[in-house]
Structure 1
Amino acid sequence: MSICQVSNKFCVVGLKSYILVYSKSTGSCQKLEHNFKKIENVKEAEPALDYALFSPRFNYFAALFSDKTLSVWSTISNDAIWRLVGSVDVKRRSVSIAFSEDEASVFVADKSGDLYKFPITDGKLQHVELENMEPIVGHISMMLDVAITDDLIITADRDEKIRISDREHPFLIRNFCLGHTDFVYRILVVKSRNLLISVSGDATLKVWDIEAGMERQSFEITEVSNDQDGKKSFPALLSCSKDESLIAVACVETFLSSVKILSISNKDKPVSTAYTFDVEGSDQILSLAFDSDDPSVLFILTVQQSKELAVMIYTCTASACAKVTGIYALPTINSHVASVPLSDLTDKEYPQLFKCCVAGHKYDAFYNKKKLLQKIEDSAEAKVPKLDM
């Protein structure tokens, strides 16, 4: 996964095996390299950055790597140099991270459907013995994203479900948000409106009432179709502005380089489509993120038609957007980013998330039939009288 994350001081570009940290004011760069450990008999352990993000107050930055490692850096220092505050093993290859609001915990969602909690104490990521770790939330299928609020744990999985659990007692399920017809890839919380936004492999963005677990709106972002490489496109890139007035969403694995902007209001239908714009000179959008300082500024990491990486910046309102160049240290940042070889990008195979087809039908149909037969068998066994011995 190639990522672009933005804080009040830094613009971060994450690549296959390292992370580039740019100062927004000077353009100076710090390179964070990860030494991948070897995992015996694991086919998928090729070097890759699986996920990364800032903590809510931007005091920490966390990253997941394909060698089952979670690393956390402190972003606070007098010389603007990040320092590693902990690197720990996780049980299985993981796909998403979320911090608690107080930045005292990191939550890690893995491919087996489990969610684990790692504490941060006295500014350091604490080592936890894996044998003694128990998941705080578990799904039957692959977990794909997690969001944490003061009182909720919200998780999304490959089986089209969003689960809302109690934060203090995670075994208590408050609601399921059901309505997607394919995997739920990303979720985000709009706290000021008590809304949950989700995007899915079914090519929709849905708006949910968190308290009721009810779908309030649905938007078709693009048709799920194959491009010339045989990869499917769907809305996978999602970001919300700091003032929670705008949402930016874009598709991946496609030669379309457009971003859709939606506006958030207090109306009965809280989200509305504002407009769509094309990213100038872009061949593919890799990541996007709203600025943490200016809620109108959107950072977009792209592969340009010149086959160079670039960080593009647009100012967005509810009615229009415009490309800007003379903001922050963008020219300095892009002169460095352009020198990054495209081979350093991680090839994220999103199509593997789409369910297999059997004779033209989703595997779900086969699986549901199998469960029905098992239910019939269990019922028949239950009717057989047991003999007292």
Structure 2
Amino acid sequence: MYHKGAIEGYPLQTYASALLFSPTGSLIRQLFQHEEPEAISIRPALSDEWSACLQTLEGHSSVVSSVAFSHDSTRLASASGDSTVKMWDASSGACLHTLEGHSRYVSSVAFSHDSTRLASASYDSTVKMWGASSGACLHTLEGHSDYVSSVAFSHDSTRLASASGDKTVKMWDASSGACLHTLEGHSSVVSSVAFSHDSTRLASASWDSTVKMWDASSGACLHTLEGHSDYVNSVAFSHDSTRLASASHDSTVKMWDASSGACLHTLEGHSDSVSSVAFSHDSTRLASASHDSTVKMWDASSGACLQTLKGHSDYVNSVAFSHDSTRLASASYDSTVKMWDASSGACLHTLEGHSRYVSSVAFSHDSTRLASASDDSTVKMWDTSSGACLQTLEGHSSVVSSVAFSHDSTRLASASYDSTVKMWDASSGVCLHTLDVGRTLHDLSFDLTGSRLYTEIGTIDIQSLETSSRMDLAEPARPMYLGTGFSSDGIWVQHAGNNMLWIPSEYRPSHSSVCGTMVGVGVGSGRVWICSVDL
């Protein structure tokens, strides 16, 4: 599973990257050591055993700020600083959709508990409601006067809460998008909100170092929980609604009694700010994400630390359990999403591929593909089962802001900062039409028949379009390289411009040096390794 991306994309790397980057004590390394390429060597020796990481999900072109599993455990959503949300197949790690429409950093995502809707919060001061299957934008909720930091659905899926830098919490009707209540009381930014699973209470975390508990029906404040010595970044209820966890900039996690407000445990162990907490759905475990680049798994009853999950090379912003409690997803500033086995801590998938921010994700309606739009001017199509990148669609000359599939899953529309909308054949990746819309569009969705495309400036009649010229997708000339070095994206060790060794995401250079036949690599995690290519 760890080398799935390399083997599927580059089968010949089975006896190069997959062997050289496998632990020295692993069965595959021992059985096939004689197949290792003689011309390529890595030193010092890598780890003895497999890490806990099952998969690393790559594709966003900027910071991944938040992750959430759908409640049927089939999908994972990720929010990014590239202004997009990506939808991933939770089993295969394939990217299903890239949701575009926000104009700034997307800070939080949450699925409704019936798994039909996805909400996203953004620094553009809005909340967007999306169809979880289609990726279509259903509502744009406006009313906050500053950035929106967090969103949460009530467990009966009837209400949505949003937390904002304007020091308020807003309660919305999840069907109509109408604002029901504005909750005031915090003296600083409200960073996170969470409903209890019986939908009777709402908790809010604030930079005023407190947590407030609210009555979800009346909006009355029930408790103010004090004890943290710095910003409170995140709150989460256990699924039996008896406990509340809070994560703080003071590097600790606190566990509270949800009825009385009493502090039950203070969990210490992280060496930097704790950005996010999440309970497993059986309420037995708590996961915490930290700026120390790790995820910790805690026993929810005793507060004991069960595991420390390592693999990200930068801040970890968010964690989420799958609803069967078997998987954990983490989002990081290293622009990747990692999927972990919640029992063993093994990494299942890493979703990557774009070279810059990912601005939007969208699932095809048959759930077999995910499209991602990026700041790198491309759209990528991913297989939702395997996590494999199927196609890279090129043709836009600027940031791609939004993507949407037709309901029969045969076409894909993409909007760009180049003021065009492109229509693609979803199977072949061929560009069918290019429309000059005269401005940047962020909201795209097809009608049920596929004959119309809905946008924020009007409805486009697709049926009457005349066939336009196909885009020239020829790549520009590539430079000639001599000796040993790296590909420009840092994914390959090259020799004379030829790809020799695919580098797993955990080993990719944050800093590097080249000397003759050797390359030296420094990784964000602190690891240093040297590779020699002697042909």
TM-score range, shorter chain: 0.5 to 0.7
Q: Aligned-pair distance for 1:234?
A: 0.5
Q: Which one of 155, 172, 188 corresponds to residue 101 of structure 1? A: 155
What residue in structure 2 maps to residue 157 of structure 1? 206
SS in 2 for 1:135: strand
Q: Contact (CA 8 Å) 2:237, 2:244: kept in 1 or not?
A: yes
Deviations 1:179-226 (A, max 9, x none): 111111111111426111111111111111121111111122334xxx
Deviation, 1:163, is 1.4
Give the whole-Å Cα distance in 2 for the aligned partners of 1:257 and 1:157: 23
Matches within 5 A, 1:1-389: 2-7=65-70, 8-15=73-80, 16-24=82-90, 27=94, 29-34=96-101, 36=103, 47-75=104-132, 80-92=133-145, 93-121=147-175, 125-127=176-178, 135-149=182-196, 150-171=199-220, 173-192=221-240, 194-223=242-271, 233-252=272-291, 256-265=292-301, 270-279=302-311, 282-293=313-324, 295-302=325-332, 309-317=335-343, 321-325=344-348, 330=349, 334=350, 337-344=351-358
1:115: how far off?
1.4
Query: Residue 60 of structure 1: CA displacement?
Result: 1.3
The structure having more radius of gyration, on CA atoms, is 2
* TM-score for the superposition, normalised by structure 1: 0.67
Once superposed, which parts of structure 1, at least 4 consecutive aligned residues long, lie more than 4 Å away?
Answer: 342-345
C-alpha change, 1:262 and 1:299, in structure 2 (3 Å) is: same
Give yes or no for contact 2:275–2:316 (8 Å, CA) kept in 1.
Answer: no
User: Residue 201 and residue 214 in structure 1: after superposition, are their counterparts in 2 closer, same or farther (change >3 A)?
Assistant: same
Aligned position for 1:352: none
Gapped runs of 5+ residues in structure 2?
A: 1-63, 360-535
* Counterpart amino acid of residue 292 in structure 1: H
Distance 1:249 1:300 in 2: 10
Shift in CA distance, 28/302, structure 1 to aligned 2, threshold 3 Å: closer
Q: Name the CA shift for 1:4/1:109 in 2 (closer, same or farther; >3 Å).
A: closer
- Cα distance change on mapping 1:283 and 1:67 into 2, 3 Å: closer
The answer for unaligned runs of 5 or more in structure 1 is: 37-46, 224-232, 346-389
Structure with the higher helix share, 1 or 2: 1
Q: How high is the TM-score relative to the length of structure 2?
A: 0.50
- SS at structure 1 position matched to 2:187: coil
**Separation (CA, whole Å) in 2 of partners of 1:162 and 1:303:** 26
Equivalent position SS for 2:240:
helix
Q: Distance in 1 between matches of 2:161 and 2:241?
A: 24
Q: Displacement of 1:262 after TM fit? A: 0.4
Closer, same or farther: CA 237–54 of 1 in aligned 2, 3 Å = same
Q: Note the C-alpha offset of 1:63.
A: 0.7
CA-CA distance at 1:311 after TM superposition: 3.5
Equivalent residues of 1:240, 1:248 under 8 A apart: yes
Whole-Å separation in 1 of the counterparts to 2:347 and 2:166:
42
Same amino acid, percent of matched pairs: 20
Aligned CA distance change for structure 1 residues 12 and 35 (closer, same or farther; 3 Å): closer
Matched-pair contact (CA < 8 Å) for 2:85–2:98: yes
Q: Count residues with an aligned counterpart.
A: 289
* Cα pair 2:209 2:232 within 8 Å, conserved: yes
RMSD: 2.5
Change (3 A) 1:169 1:24: closer
Q: Say if 1:143 and 1:10 are closer, same or farther in 2 by CA, change over 3 A.
A: same
Distance 1:34 1:200, change over 3 A: same
C-alpha displacement at 1:134, in angstroms? Answer: 5.8
**In structure 1, what residue type is equivalent to 2:300?**
I
Distance 1:25 1:243, change over 3 A: same
Partner of 1:382: none
Q: Deviation at 1:137?
A: 3.7
Once the two structures are superposed, what CA deviation does each residue of 1:69-109 show, in whole Å capped at 9, x if it has no partner? 2110122xxxx423222112122222111212221121112
Please give the secondary structure, in 2, of the residue aligned with 1:136. Answer: strand
Q: Which residue identity lines up with residue 177 of structure 2 in the other structure?
A: Q
Comparing 283-292 with 177-186, greater Cα deviation is found at: 283-292
CA contact (8 A) 1:199 1:206 kept: yes
Q: Once the 2 structures are TM-superposed, how far is the Cα of residue 303 of structure 1 from its aligned partner?
A: 6.1
- 2:118 and 2:130 in contact (8 A); partners too: yes
Point out which structure has higher relative CO (alpha carbons under 8 A, 6+ apart). 2
